[in-house]
Structure formats: structure tokens, C-alpha cells
Structure 1
Amino acid sequence: MSWPLSPELLAPLAPWFERVRRDLAWRAQDLDAPHPDPYAVLVSELMLQQTQVATVVPYFARWLERFPDAATLAEADEDAVHKAWEGLGYYRRARFLKAAATSVAAEGWPGDLEGLAGLPGLGPYTAAAVGAIAFQWPTPALDGNAFRVLARLLLIEGDPKARAADLRTWLVPALGALGPSRLTQALMELGATVCAPAPACGACPLGDHCAARLAGRTADIPPVAKRAKPRASTLWLVAFEAKGQFLLQAPAARGLLAGLWRWPTFDAADHGAEPVLRPGSITAWLGWTQVYTHRREAVTPLRIGLEAPFTPAGGLRWVPGTELQGLPLGKRDQRLRDLLVTPGQPPLESPDPARLIRACAAPSA
């Protein structure tokens, strides 16, 4: 590596961070001492994975009020944990957080980076961030923001993640000189607020020594990764109601939607629409497009009223309507739950209700 020494190059970050750092609930006032509540650091880091700070702030406050320490979270009911996470997305983070808290409550905090990385849900970045911020260990934490800052500062060609090992080695002396917690959070702050994809170079404390800026290449360093085109689908999202009960898919034990209740869904390609012959039994609302990382769903929400509940197939459950608000649902399913208390309208067309019922009913004996 022919890069300048990290303690000298990154030195301006420390005074800059003291001037501009945001007052965040999980951020300690004293950045030279171990964090007074490592559990709060763990919660914040898992919540901040793929989620913006502004979104996390209210969730963090409610979470700490509900689950103030690792022992409380370890003993909490799974539904309560998912309910508290409801709307934050990427729900496996909630399961990882509970599992990590269970380990900490039983065995205490690990004493090194390898031990932290062994906790559920803590990959190399999160383990290093918790080590630096909570315990003042000189463990280099490289997230997307830090990679972008360092790629521009050092004019790294190509994907900077390919140089992760070199960058970690390069950062260690600066962490020791400037303080692990301070420098780690300063890099995060700089990437989030100044050295964004469209950088504000005039406000950057490192701008005078940024190799990409001096070369006029901040627009193409680092290169933008190409994303695969999301897969499109069209869905009927259905609330079957019978005598005050609603049919839902019970939470799965594994997978992206583990821990969440869901409405039955039907692919419109397999359940085509037809004119509605009994408008009083079906209610519709304006549909929407639900966007995920790898797919886009054109959702049409329906309520189908039945005279009596049928015996559901495995995994499906009839749930009293009075309990709906207490169940953890994903954003798409929350939206239909909220629509149920608003006026709908008879649909112009819908899938055949009898066919949908057959798809959800248990096989005849």
C-alpha cells in the first residue's frame, strides 16, 4: 500500500465530528470511555443495518422502553418482539437481536472481536462497530458509508470492498491515535451527511487531501453497483372474514418473513379476475405497488365475507378480529389490516371466491 499514514490523513475528522455530530440516543457523550450501555449499541447497530437514522430514532426509543436490557429481551415473547419491530423491515434482524441478547444474558459480553462476530446477526462490520463503539477496541468497521469515504479519499479504483483487508490494516493506527469510538462514528457521520453518493465536498474536513476530489473523480469513485431488475408480480391480498374472525397465515419459523402473520395471497396469473356476481360479499380498496429489494408486487386488497369459517389448510388460522392489532405484520399486510376499518367499495372484478376458498381449505377427509 502506498497510501498516506491514516492517523495524519484522518486527524481532521476528530475536531469536525465534535462540532457537527448529531445528538442520537444511542451515542455516548464521552467518546473516550467504553459505552455505558453496550446493549444500546447492539440494538442501534442492528436497527441501522439497511435503515436510515431518521427511521430508526423512534423505533430505538420505543424498543429500549419495552426491552431495556438483554435479559428483558431474552425473556420476551416472540410475537411481542416482532410487534415492536413492526414496520422497520428486514425482520430477521429482530430475531437475531433477541438471539444475541439471549446469549449475552446467559454468558455475558464476549471479550474479543471473534466472540462478538459469533453472536447471531453480527457480521464483520457490525461486530467491529460494536467492538469500537461499545468497548473502545481498535476494530475497523467498514460499512457502505466508510467504504465510499475511503475509496474517494485514497482514490481506490473499482469496488473498495475488494480492498477491505488492506483498509482495515490501514485504519488500525488511526483508531488507536484518534479513539476507536470517535473515529468509527466520525467516518459513519461523514459518509451519511457529507460524502454521500452526491458529495458536498466544500463541507468536507478531508477535502483538501481527498485524492478523488483533486482528480475531479468524485462522481465515479466508487463505481455504482448495478442492481438486477426487480421481478414483477400481481397479487390478490385477501382478508377472509367469517363471524368476526379473519383467516391468516401463522408465522413461519424460518425465512425472511419468519415471526410475521400474513394475509393469504394469490398470484393473479393463476387466479384470473372475473365480473363480480355477488357484490355484497366482496369489498375492494384501491391497490398499490409494494416495492422490495428484488421484487415489485402490484397488490389488490380484498375482503371476502363468509357465512361461516371453513377448516383451514395447514399453517392457516382463524383469528378473532379483536386480536388483529396485536399481531406482528409486515408493511404490506399492515396496510390491508388498516383498510378493514375504512369504507371500501364493490369491485368491478375479482378472482372466484370459491376457488380461493378451496386453495385455503384443508383437504376433505
Structure 2
Amino acid sequence: MSAVERKTACVTGGNSYIASALIKMLLQKGYAVNTTVRNPDDMVKNSHFKDLQELGPLKVFRTDLEEQGSFDEAVAGCDYAFLVAAPVNLKSHNPQKELVEAGVQGTLNVMRPCVKAGTVRRVILTSSAVAVFMRPLEGDGHVLGESSWSDFDYLTSAANEKSPGISSVFPQLLQAYSLSKLLSEKEASKVAEENGISLVTVCPVITVGPAPTAEAKPCVITVLSLLSGDKEMIGTLRLMAKAVGGLILVHVDDLCAAEIFVAENSSSSGRYICCGLNTSLLQLGRLLVAKYPQYNVDIAALGDVPDEKPRIRLSSEKLIGEGFEFRYKTIDEMYDDAFIEYGRAIGILPYK
């Protein structure tokens, strides 16, 4: 492909789990890619770029989500901008400032250069399912689509910490993270509407599968915890499952393919839930026991978790209706040997 024919995409946060996989897929599809990181000289976090640069033209830019104008050069001349970078501090002592305010401001600091560039055909914002289901829901059997929004008052009300609702699972961190994603979506939509920019938002669920980055990410540590035996992360996995009465999963390859799909599909607009599987934690545990007996998965460690259908199901009907096809649809396909090998390679799982 010639330089004239080649499209250019900016992917923010290139050393993150999802962004690294997205960069790889874009390069494989013939894109030129600009990516951004806070410190390009950190070879521990950025070691994967060397291999990715063998797949195609990849430029790495130094940026800071907190600095206005920091992304101007990285976005300039790009056809598409994939906003993946977001502040995630799981040990924050000030979630409102470090997650909510920083997340919203960081999104705006990338949206504005997209307007300024004048070449960006579409912005694709990576949000989260927590911007969809964090709201009061009575009973079971809820099927939520893109019209469902997490409730601002519900998330900000201190009374929720005492209620049995979803937000009581992670009283501060989950509420702050959810607010960050919710408000970032809203603010990005305002900028896009005011400036005539095409914006599409993807809301992924819990993401699994191997990625180019060699740094262990919290989400990967959590979803592999039944195999690693990490009790703290198993506890986190249990809490996540209790929040929705089950597990909502998507393979990282399907997520990246979905983001590129809605970028290139001219009729795509608005929000898209990206969920490949609604299942239960016990079903996951039983499959891992049978498939990887060498890791001695302790199902009893899961305690009292529901085995029935999830209380809340997230639907990707809109995405599928536009022609997208999920490749990974079962636990067995998502927790394949490639994902297990990835867990070993980044030091989460021992070699057995």
C-alpha cells in the first residue's frame, strides 16, 4: 500500500492493554499509526513498540492527558482518532480528582486537537460498560442496550454505600471510575456536536485475551486469578460478578475489531456495547478446572456466587445488526491456550 492510499490513525495510550492490541490490528490492516505515551523512554512499558514497528509505520509521541495542546502533533493529519488512554489509579486516595476530573479533562484534551486537525473523519471513544449499567435496577432478567445510561445521582449519592445496589460493591473506586466514563462520554459528545465532528463510543465489558504489551494490567490479573490463585484478585472477581449477577466478557481481538468496524462503517453512530458473552463465575470456574487441571482451580474459593443466568445482560444487538461478527463467543474460546501463554509470559501465571 502506498503512502497516498494508507490511512493514518491516532491511538492514545499505546502502552495500555487495549490500545496495544488495537495498534497491532490497525497495522496489520495497513494503517499508519501514531500513538501516545507519557514517557517514550520507559523501555519497560514500551518494549512492545519495537515488534509492532516491524508490522508497519508506527510513530510514538510524548503526551500528557493533563496538558492542553499536548496531543496536537499526534493527531495532526490523522483520518481517525481512537481515544483509549484514561487515568486509572486503583490505589487513589482522591478518586474524584484523580479519576473523575482527570478522566473528563483528559478526554477533552484529546477531543479538541481532533477538531483543530481538520482531517479527522471520526473519533472513536473507548468508554466502558460501567457507563451503562450502574443504576437502580429491581429484580432480575434485565437486558440493557445503548439507551441505558448509568445514573449520575445514583453514583454520587452517599446513601448508595448503604444500599444493596450495584454501586455498593465498590463504594468509592467503582463509583468514581463509572462517573469518569459517564461524564467523559457526555462531554465528548458535546464537543463533537458543537464542532461537527463524527463521534462513536464503544462500551466494552470485562476484556480478556492476549495483547502485545508485556506489562501486567489489573484487568488481566483479575480475570486470570482463578488460575493464579491470587486471593485478593479472586475477591475482586467475585465482587465484579456479584455486581451484575454474573460475568460479562469480550475478547480483546473482538473489541479492537469492533472499534475499527465502527470507525470505517459510515452509517455507524452513537454508542455501541461490545459484549461477546454473558455467563456466570461458576461456569468459568468449572471450565478452567476441566481445561487446565494443572492449576488446581479452587471453586470453593468463589464462595456463594449465583450459578443461574446473569441478573443483568448487556446486548450487542446494535453492533451485530450493522454487520459485525464476534469471533469469540464462549468461555472456552476466550480462555484459550494463547491467553494462558500470555499470562505466563507477563508473569501472572506460573509455567506448569
Which of these two proteins has the greater Rg computed from alpha carbons?
1
In the superposition, the TM-score normalised over structure 2's length comes to: 0.22
